[in-house]
Amino acid sequence: MFDTAIAGSLPKPAWLAETQKLWPQWKAEGAELAQAKLDATLLWIKMQEDAGLSVIGAGEQSRQHFVHKVEMGIRNDRYKAMVPQVVAPLKLKGRVHAAEARLLRAHTRRRIKFTLPGPMTIVDTVADRHYGDRVKLAFAFAELLNQEALALREDGVDVIQFDEPAFNVYMADAAAWGVQALERAAQGLGARSATSGRACRTAVHICYGYGIPANVDWKKTLGQEWRQYEQVFPALAASSIDQVSLECIHSHVPPELMALLAGKDVMVGVIDVASDVVETPAEVADAIGRALQYVPRERLIACTNCGLAPMSRAVAEAKLAALAQGAALAARRLDRG
Ligand SMILES: [Zn+2]
């Protein structure tokens, strides 16, 4: 059997937030909102289990994309967003994701994955008014991410994934320092904790973004072959990160680029997040079959191309089922030889 997992986000129920929006407004506030976020997380744990996924995520039900402060062009000006400002040395006020991670651990016996934004992507999503140096700022964020990630290991999280869509935009910087900043964020997670004895697998998700118009337009400028991964994968292959999540199905990424990740677990995107058309299990199994030319069977994890957040719940649920059924079909095809 192949492991199956989502890249990260899932749609928020209509009672939690506005639907089919990437930056939705919450429908409640205070303690009521905190409870609603946990209830939505619980709902998606059940949905992922029922669909048959082997690794369960929190679906990012507690997260609204960015804190709103100042407008800035992000991902090399592909879109404008209201972003937070850094005005003083960074430090964490306390735990960030303890409630969702503990809820996730308490309500499934399957392995659990938790996602955090990667340092380079955070740097691309905030306005720096203090450090005056992207690399320094990235390493400052990496230290804070590491604190939270080490605490998530204690909460019982099995896989900690950092999302780095910025790696696909600033490829030279990613290879020069982005991967190092990522390793700083993941430092020590793979070792057994002295207190709990727990260890984590570490992962990075690199994608071409959600299926929103700004991204769809950007993808049209990338040409027939998307070779961005080619510049970053060698640095990742040489890094301490265990797993790499990438786009595959319906993308223009040449599948042979997966061969650059020798020695890593590869989360292959076999569910398209830019289309509401639900894949058939056969299509998913075919995509897995193509990836198996470059990724050994024991290292392949079937995954979604990116998060499912902007979709309708019904489509997302159907896509989770297609993912699990397609992975099962691919395994049966292999066993038949
Ligand atoms: Zn993504």
Quote the CA–CA distance of 168 and 2 in Å, as a whole number: 27
Q: What is the pLDDT of residue 70?
A: 52
Tell me the average pLDDT across 91-106. Answer: 93
Residue labelled with tokens 């450090």: 131
Question: How far, in Å, from the CA of 195 to the mean position of ligand 1?
Answer: 33
Mean pLDDT over residues 46-72, rounded?
82
pLDDT at residue 79, as a whole number: 66
pLDDT at 313: 96
The predicted structure's pLDDT at residue 242: 98
- The pLDDT of residue 94 is 87
> Distance, CA 206 to ligand 1 centroid (Å)?
6
pLDDT per position as a tens digit, 260-307: 999 999 999 999 999 999 999 999 999 999 999 999 999 999 999 999
* Ion ligand 1, residue ranges at CB < 5 A: 207, 306
Ligand 1 mean position, distance from CA 210 (Å): 6
What is the per-residue pLDDT across 178-208, written as a single tens digit (0 to 9) for each? 999 999 999 999 999 999 999 999 999 999 8
Distance from the alpha carbon of residue 205 to the mean position of ligand 1, in angstroms: 6
- pLDDT above 90 covers a percentage of the chain that reads 80
Dump strand ranges (E) for the chain.
3-4, 55-57, 70-74, 79-83, 85-86, 111-117, 127-128, 159-163, 201-205, 243-246, 265-271, 300-304
pLDDT of residue 71: 61
Please state the rounded mean pLDDT for residues 120-140: 92
Answer yes or no: is pLDDT of 69 > 60: no
Res 68 pLDDT > 60: no
pLDDT at position 9 is: 95
- Full-model pTM: 0.95
